[in-house]
Amino acid sequence: MAHAHTEPPAPVALRVKAIESLLVEKGLVDPAALDELVDLFENRLGPRNGARVVARAWTDPAYRQRLLADGTSAIAELGFSGAQGEHMIVLENTDRVHNVVVCTLCSCYPWPVLGLPPVWYKSAPYRARVVMEPRAVLAEFGLEVPDEVEVRVWDSNAELRYLVLPQRPPGTEHLSEAELAELVTRDSMIGTGQPRRPGQAAGAEGPA
Ligand code: FE
C-alpha cells in the first residue's frame, strides 16, 4: 500500500476511533491497556529494531558500508522490512555532520526500524521549527551541537524514510553488540538525541 504522504484519511481515523469507543464501552478493552500498547510500539519495542541495526554497524565495518550504500537491503538482512520502510536511507553522523529527520508535511516515519512516531514528531511546531532553527530545537531536547558541526535536516516523504546512524559513544570498546544496542536510543536514530554512555541510566526521551 502506497503511503501518500498525508494524514490517514479521516474516514479511517474515524472508524478506528468508533471501534475503540465501542470496545471500551462494551468493556472489551481497557483504555489504559490501549495506551500501554501504543507506548510499547512507540517507545520500547519499535525502536529496538533500529538499535540492532546501529549496533551491527558499529561492530561490523562491512555491514556499515552496506548500510550506508543501500539502507533498505542492509536493514532487511536483519529481518526488518515492510510498510513504511520500503526505501530507507541511512544518514551517518560524524565529527563534522549531525543529521536530524523530520516530515514537514505530516508524520512519515520508518516503522520497521523505529515503530510508531512519538507525538512530538507529528506536532506542527517540531515539523516547522526544526527546519528553520534546528539548533534551537535540538537544544530543547538537551542536545547542544557544537558550532563547528554542521546540522543537516532531512525531510521524509512517501518515497524515502531516514534512519540516523549515531556515533558510537566513547568508552564502549569492550561492549558486545547486544550491549551496544542497549545504548541506542530512539531519539539518537531520529537525530534529536545521542546514544547513552555506558552506565548512563535510561531516561525519558523527547523534548524537555
Ligand atoms: Fe509524511
Q: Is 73 a catalytic residue?
A: no
Of the listed ranges 36-45, 79-88, 164-173, the one predicted with least confidence:
36-45
pLDDT of residue 8: 58
% pLDDT > 70, the chain: 92
Q: Read off the pLDDT of each residue in 163-180 and give the average, rounded to a whole number.
A: 97
pLDDT of residue 1: 43
Please write the tens of the pLDDT for every residue from 109-122: 999 999 989 999 99
Measured distance CA(178)–CA(197) in Å, rounded: 14
Which is more confident, 14 or 86? 86
pLDDT of residue 74: 98
In sequence order, the 6+-apart residues with CB closer than 8 A to the CB of 193 are 141, 142, 143, 185, 186, 187, 205
C-alpha cell at 77: 538482512
Measured distance CA(62)–CA(1) in Å, rounded: 32
Is pLDDT at 59 greater than 80 in this prediction? yes
Which is more confident, 101 or 85? 101
Highest-scoring range by mean pLDDT, 81-85, 177-181, 200-204: 177-181
Average pLDDT, the chain: 90
Cα R_g (the chain), whole angstroms? 18
Which CATH number is 45-190 given? 3.90.330.10
Please write the tens of the pLDDT for every residue from 130-154: 999 999 999 999 999 999 999 999 9
Distance set, CA 165 to CA 19, 107, 171, 204 (Å): 38, 20, 18, 20
Is pLDDT at 67 greater than 90 in this prediction? yes
Is pLDDT at 15 greater than 70 in this prediction? yes
CA–centroid distance, 7 to ligand 1, in Å, is 8
Q: Is 108 a catalytic residue?
A: yes
Given the residues 73, 103, 123, 176, select the one marked as catalytic: 103
Residue 5, sorted as left (phi over 0), alpha (psi -120 to 50) or beta, turns out to be left
Q: Is 103 a catalytic residue?
A: yes
Residue 61: CB atoms within 10 A of its CB come to 9
CA–centroid distance, 106 to ligand 1, in Å, is 4
pLDDT of residue 2: 46
46-59 and 61-69 helices, crossing angle to 10° = 120
Is pLDDT at 11 greater than 80 in this prediction? no
CA–centroid distance, 171 to ligand 1, in Å, is 37
Backbone angles phi, psi at 155, to 5 degrees: -100, 110
Is pLDDT at 7 greater than 60 in this prediction? no
In sequence order, the 6+-apart residues with CB closer than 8 A to the CB of 124 are none
What is the pLDDT confidence band of residue 5, given thresholds at 50, 70 and 90?
A: low
CA–centroid distance, 89 to ligand 1, in Å, is 15
Q: Is 106 a catalytic residue?
A: yes
CA–centroid distance, 122 to ligand 1, in Å, is 9
Strands (DSSP E) found in 8-125: 88-92, 97-102
